[in-house]
Each structure stands twice: as C-alpha cells, then as structure tokens.
Structure 1
C-alpha cells in the first residue's frame, strides 16, 4: 500500500491538470502559431511558464486503484501487476487465467 500522502498528492495533480488544461491548450496554440507576432508568442510563453508545474498532465502518475502502487500499473485495468495477480488467483478478473505448474 502506498503512502496516503503520495496518493493524495497525485489526486491533487489530476484535479489541477484537469482544471488548467483548457488554458494550457490556448497558450500552447498561441505559441505554436507562426502567424502571430513574436511579442505575443513570447508573452504566451511567459504566461505558460508562470502556471504551476503540477497543472501539467505529465506530472500525473498512473497509480493502482486498489493499492496506490505507482510502478508496474496496467493502463487498461488501472491495476498493478500484483493486484491483477491476486485478483486473478481468486478468479475475480473475467477472462484471466493464471497459470501455475
């Protein structure tokens, strides 16, 4: 089980990234538009740099929904390899057959 503070920090990042996404997209569009004057593009770059770092979607970490584990998380299931193995052993994951020999 991951620390609660790490899980909460990641949840705050998700929320902040979701709220700031439209503004970030607008600023990035201005920066990428070559037809705009250089001063306007530079001002947009500065505004983007002033935004909180945690408002970027790349700061969000994929975590297991059950345990909060940050590594070896399958995106499709949103579960870590350990959680999938445990649930698969109990027969709770449809279509998953855990081999044992």
Structure 2
C-alpha cells in the first residue's frame, strides 16, 4: 500500500488540474491561433501567464495510481489496477472475462 500522504498529494494535483484546466487551454489556444497572428511581445505575455499558474496544475504532473492500493507503477488503464492486484483478482475470479494464462 502506498503512503497516504502520496495518495493525498496526487488527489490535490487532480483538483488543481481541474481548477485551472480551462484557463490553461484558453491561453494555449490564444498562442496557437492562426486567425490573428500575435506579435512576439504578446506571445511572451501569454507565456508568462501560463508560467504563473501553479506548477502542480499541469496535466503532465498527474500520475495514474492503483484504485485499491495506490501503487504508482504497472497500472492497467482499462481496469485501473496495478499488475499484481489484477492478477490476484483474476485468480479469485473477480474480474469477468479475464482468464488466467496457461501454456
């Protein structure tokens, strides 16, 4: 099980990302807009606004964690579980449609 402080930190990052998502998208859209070309000084002002946003509000700072244990590695997106938890659940027949491999 992951430390509770790390799990809480990840939840805080998710909240910040949701809070600043629209602001970040609108600023990026203004930089990339081809309809009205911006001067270099206008682009730098917009970039400064982007950089002034909290660092943890960037979506790249988010990390997927296991739904049950909070483990940050070996996560399967489809199930939201880490590898060893997924394996245990398949062995106990808790995941419908998943089969154990045997060769």
Mapped partners of 1:50, 1:8: distance in 2: 24
- Write the deviation string for residues 59-99 of structure 1: whole angstroms up to 9, x where unpaired: 00000000000000001111000110111111000011113
Q: Give the C-alpha shift of residue 37 in structure 1.
A: 2.5
Per the TM alignment, residue 32 of structure 1 is displaced from its structure 2 partner at its CA by 1.8
5+ residue gaps, structure 1, are none
Query: Displaced runs of 4+ in structure 1, greater than 4 A?
Result: none
* Cα distance in 2 between the residues matched to 1:46 and 1:30: 13
- Give me the whole-angstrom Cα distance separating, in 2, the residues matched to 1:99 and 1:57: 36
The correspondence of residues 2-17 of structure 1 with structure 2, limited to 5 A, is 2-17=2-17
Q: Runs of 5+ in structure 2 lacking a partner?
A: none
1:79 paired to 2:81: yes
Matches within 5 A, 1:1-101: 1-34=1-34, 35-99=37-101
Please report how far the alpha carbon of residue 57 of structure 1 lies from its aligned counterpart in structure 2 after TM superposition. Answer: 0.6
State the 1:38 CA deviation. 2.2
Residues matched between the structures, number: 101
Q: Compute the displacement of 1:30 (Å).
A: 1.6
